[in-house]
Amino acid sequence: MSNKPANNIQDLQYFGEFGGVNPSISDSATYTFLHAKTMLDTFEGHAEGCYLYSRHTSPSNLYLSEALAAMEFTETANVAASGMGAITSVFLQVCGAGDHIVSSRTIYGGSYAFLKNFAPKLNITTSFVDITSLEKVEAAITSSTKMIYCEAISNPLLEVANISELSKIAKKHNILLVVDNTFSPLIISPQKLGADVTVHSLTKFINGTNDTVGGVVCGTQEFINSLRNVNDGAAMLLGPVMDSLRAASVLKNLRTLHIRIKKHSENALYLAEYFEKDGLKVVYPGLKSHKDHELFKTMYNKEYGFGGIMTVDVGTLEKANELMELMQHDNLGYLAVSLGFYKTLFSAPGTSTSSEIPEEEQKEMGLSNGIIRFSIGLDNDIERTYRAMRKCMKQVGVL
Ligand code: PLP
């Protein structure tokens, strides 16, 4: 395995059933066995290379899983029907009644809502902490804690988790460090920094075409086997399975991820630098003014830059809405949630993707109503985009 995650994806060789350059798509929910004994062995997890039933796994899903494992430097991976399908499977695999999670307080609203509102129904509790304070993280760990959970770059505040230090804390307390790397595929390799499990929403940069939702859990063979176990595996029993046709399609898009990420990062850095110079309140890990800029530089795979997400605080929700509507009108992107698309996407997280987080807590973590989250697109001429966006900002009085 090379040290470069994109090389690892590129070096995988595929020969379809008829010698095709793409693997054949497995269009079956169930699989035949020549001998009854092999079926029993497969149920018990002992028949390498045999397929049982597509909720368990399918050849197409395994191809995609292996490519994502190669990208994340993990032994293996398991794809899921959505990012939430992947993330919640991990929570429920690792934790049972009475267990506890220490989670970053700035995470995707859905993950937050699951831990805050759903997991307590199963008597799984969570302490939400400022993940950038290692003291607070460690102080929140109790004898019931099973995992530290964070996003490598957090949604939407773009805080950077110090994965190496968090991993030392996790190891010291014999608990898992689980990292959501959705905002920084290829850019950050959590496993290399000591994470135990890496999860992604494939819906975003990795697939990149906004035509499906998808997710993945990357980890050790032992952990992934436990997720898929027919008797007590969360992925197997909750059933958030990705369809084979989709897995084949996501795999094809994954192969251009390195080119796309470089362009997303290049464009985002350009806009972040210019808008900051113009006097706007810009948050972007590539800016020297970002409080975790130096930390980021110790963690990232430099050639992919600082990522495609930046935020601009325009003061009030009214201004944010006015600006987003105007930018959409002027064809500078779409007023839409999600990220990683060829077009720029923008939304006000306080009232959309983070609306699950109560207003008071939003305030405490510094999530103001005037923040616009931009997922910067693959614009060919970013200078032209800058000029047009600037015009909109002037028009609504933000500049
Ligand atoms: N993790 C992060 C950081 C996200 O931004 C999202 C979705 O916005 C998810 C997880 C959930 O992924 P999905 O929508 O594919 O279930």
- pLDDT tier, 358 (very low <50, low <70, confident <90, very high otherwise): confident
33-70, pLDDT tens digit by residue? Answer: 999 999 888 887 776 778 889 999 999 999 999 999 99
User: Do 250 and 262 fall within a single domain?
Assistant: no
238-258, pLDDT tens digit by residue? Answer: 999 999 999 999 999 999 999
User: Do 228 and 123 fall within a single domain?
Assistant: yes
User: Do 331 and 199 fall within a single domain?
Assistant: no
Q: Which atom of ligand 1 is nearest to the CA of 338?
A: 8
**Could you tell which of 91, 103, 131, 182 is best to mutate to test the pocket of ligand 1, judged by most ligand atoms within 8 Å of the CB?**
182
Which of 198, 232, 254 is the C-terminal boundary of a domain?
A: 254
Residues forming a β-bridge with 147: 101, 176
CB 196 within 8 A of CB 176: yes
- Of the candidates 337, 330, 336, the one whose C-alpha atom is nearest the C-alpha of residue 386 is 330
Which of 254, 275, 295 is the C-terminal boundary of a domain?
A: 254
Ligand 1 is surrounded, with C-beta below 6 A, by: 82-84, 108, 110-111, 151, 155, 180, 182-183, 201, 203, 213, 215, 353
User: Do 310 and 184 fall within a single domain?
Assistant: no
Please tell me the total count of domains within the chain.
Answer: 2
CATH number at residue 199: 3.40.640.10
Beta-carbon count within 10 A of 386 CB: 19
Question: Three-state secondary structure along the chain?
Answer: CCCCHHHHHHCCCCCCCCCCCCCCCCCCCECCCCCHHHHHHHHCCCCCCCCCECCCCCHHHHHHHHHHHHHHCCCEEEEECCHHHHHHHHHHHHCCCCCEEEEECCCCHHHHHHHHHHHHHHCCEEEEECCCCHHHHHHHCCCCEEEEEEECECCCCCCECCHHHHHHHHHHCCCEEEEECCCCCCCECHHHHCCCEEEEECCCCCCCCCCCCCEEEEECHHHHHHHHCCCCCHHHHHCCCCCHHHHHHHHHHHCCHHHHHHHHHHHHHHHHHHHHHCCCEEECCCCCCCCCHHHHHHHECHHHCCCCEEEEECCCHHHHHHHHHHHHHCCCCEECCCCCCCCCEEECHHHCCCCCCCHHHHHHHCCCCCEEEEECCCCCCHHHHHHHHHHHHHHHCCC
CATH number at residue 382: 3.90.1150.10
CA atoms within a 13 Å half-sphere pointing along the CA-CB vector of 300: 24
Residues 273/275/278/281 CA torsion (nearest 10 deg): -100
User: Do 199 and 85 fall within a single domain?
Assistant: yes
User: Do 352 and 369 fall within a single domain?
Assistant: yes
Give me ligand 1 centre to Cα 179, in Å. 13
- State yes or no: pLDDT of 367 exceeds 90: no
Range of the domain at 105: 5-254
Q: Whose CA is nearest to atom 5 of ligand 1?
A: 108
Give me ligand 1 centre to Cα 42, in Å. 33
What pTM was estimated for this model as a whole?
A: 0.97
User: Do 319 and 236 fall within a single domain?
Assistant: no
Between 369 and 391, the more confident residue is 391
Residues forming a β-bridge with 219: 76
Q: What is the pLDDT of residue 233?
A: 96
User: Do 121 and 178 fall within a single domain?
Assistant: yes
- State yes or no: pLDDT of 84 exceeds 80: yes
Q: Whose CA is nearest to atom 11 of ligand 1?
A: 83
Q: Whose CA is nearest to atom 15 of ligand 1?
A: 83
The gap between the terminal CA atoms of the chain, to the nearest Å, is 49
User: Do 194 and 304 fall within a single domain?
Assistant: no
Q: What is the pLDDT of residue 205?
A: 98
User: Do 268 and 195 fall within a single domain?
Assistant: no
Which of 254, 273, 294 is the C-terminal boundary of a domain?
A: 254
User: Do 42 and 88 fall within a single domain?
Assistant: yes
User: Do 70 and 147 fall within a single domain?
Assistant: yes
